[in-house]
Structure 1
């Protein structure tokens, strides 16, 4: 399990686990809801188990217990969450690093405040029956991080990505394409990996096997943050507590996810187990990876211009405002 720079969080998590539970019944809100009328903090997230800390905090009333009026806004995922912040229909969002950076390229006023989860196991490589990885000639890819990880994997095998046909497809279509033999492999995540395995495919690697990982960030706009830094810190403080609980008690997290997005608890648990949850500040490695992603996306024509990673990633913010100095 990953060790996070979370100097006081372990004590908080133990206390939270020992004093379980506000049995919350919070409902989800559509992205079109015009909140903010009562000072609510709207946080846009996707609808999959990687957002477990948000769902657990909402289901168990953790935001309310901290005196915060937080409303979790479910979106279709991807760039939509960060775009809600840009549009002003949400104050904050949870986003994967790759997605946040693509939105930041066009909206440099966005700021990432810190990491609340990361994984080297969430993304997996699946090949169809009878295929040796080094014999891959056709891969299914989804834009963004899917393409980035696919090319990293191919290069780790000594294959030139330019010599392998890339079939652009969404994750839900990948298992069927693999089963029909239309593609030899794909890099994706559950439930699509599990579906492909049920159809005869096999997992041959996770992203950590070829030196790749992803992180998720809490994002806000610079203007809102400047006027609401204390509130932002209080939100991230609760999120950090929730992330620590998710990491320590994945069954509890799976129940919260299942209640929030109507997902089978066993499937939610399987996904949660593939992710390391915990709050930490940005590191040199995070900055370097962000710059690599920006370079890759620019070369692919996915973004124009550059992203000032030293500006949009607020390194040190979480330590200063939430975690505190190490003892």
Structure 2
């Protein structure tokens, strides 16, 4: 088991959410507390982050409407909030990182993942304080969930026993300052926090791909809703897949959509989007194995509320059957 301690700052409560900055939004997106759904309305919960670029693009350019769909994009604070909206019935679909989805599925076994819409082995980067070499790491700043998982894999890739390194649990926004003060030797995070750490004199030494790790984002739904709405869900996923292809080929167009939807600088949005590979697709055997690795890790860490079988909750072949 990894040894951790929590850094005592006012922002520690934010550590449970990867993207914790709440942004006031414009456009078609509305909060989850608004009116109940009509029969054919599909509400999709997303985080306030450029990683949801295909959904923002489809929303801002009217792609859902052009496909004859009534879709409402609901922006949340990120983390598990979108999946919890699906559980609560305030959203029909949600986009969630694999690690987040699996932990929510452990407590809510009726959730199902329909397919993948993005992956990245370079979005998360390893940053070390100036003068610290990988072999010298004694403390690492981590955020719960995927941050802890990546840190464990990175340390093992160096031949280090993770139990020999002190892990300081904190939120991503706090990490650059901790690194600059020397409270931690390194961190694994994402922009803009990586860029802030670099500006303060620290150095990016690796991406997760350098030690064989990546994350994926899935579209998830409840089993009950899906059983009654598979054709509708397939149409929505098809639009997300179409938008994903556009994001890959025209990141500037995607960045404009992100900027419009979440009020982010377009240049920054384009840089973030370029760190991700977007593709609406079915699950592969490799995806199922990656999910199993996550389940095994979080189970060992005591973070799973119950058992999860990736071969059951990941609906392999669903995209080809319903969104092909």
Please report the TM-score for the alignment, with normalisation by the length of structure 2.
0.91
Question: 1:115-157 CA distances to partner (integer Å, 9 max, x unpaired)?
Answer: 1110110010001111101101000000000000001001101
- Give ranges in structure 2 of 5+ residues lacking alignment: 1-25
- Paired residue for 2:130? 129
- Paired residue for 1:308? 309
- Paired residue for 1:95? 96
Q: State the number of aligned residues.
A: 299
Distance 1:104 1:286 in 2: 16
Q: Does 1:204 align with 2:205?
A: yes
Distance 2:84 2:141 in 1: 27
- Paired residue for 1:228? 229
Distance 1:237 1:32 in 2: 27
Kindly state the Cα deviation for residue 181 of structure 1 after the two structures are TM-superposed. Answer: 0.8
Kindly state the Cα deviation for residue 104 of structure 1 after the two structures are TM-superposed. Answer: 0.4
Distance 1:109 1:38 in 2: 21
Residue 296 of structure 2 aligns to a residue in which SS? helix
Residue 255 of structure 2 aligns to a residue in which SS? helix
Matches within 5 A, 1:184-199: 184-199=185-200
CA contact (8 A) 2:110 2:224 kept: yes
CA contact (8 A) 1:34 1:89 kept: no
- Paired residue for 1:31? 32
- Give ranges in structure 1 of 5+ residues lacking alignment: 1-24
Distance 2:321 2:229 in 1: 15
- 4+ runs of 1 displaced by more than 6 Å? none
Distance 2:139 2:35 in 1: 45
Question: 1:64-90 CA distances to partner (integer Å, 9 max, x unpaired)?
Answer: 000101000000001000000000000
Distance 1:297 1:303 in 2: 6
Distance 1:29 1:174 in 2: 31
Please report the TM-score for the alignment, with normalisation by the length of structure 1.
0.90
Question: 1:162-182 CA distances to partner (integer Å, 9 max, x unpaired)?
Answer: 000000001010111111111
Aligned-residue Cα RMSD (Å) equals 1.0
Distance 1:33 1:200 in 2: 45
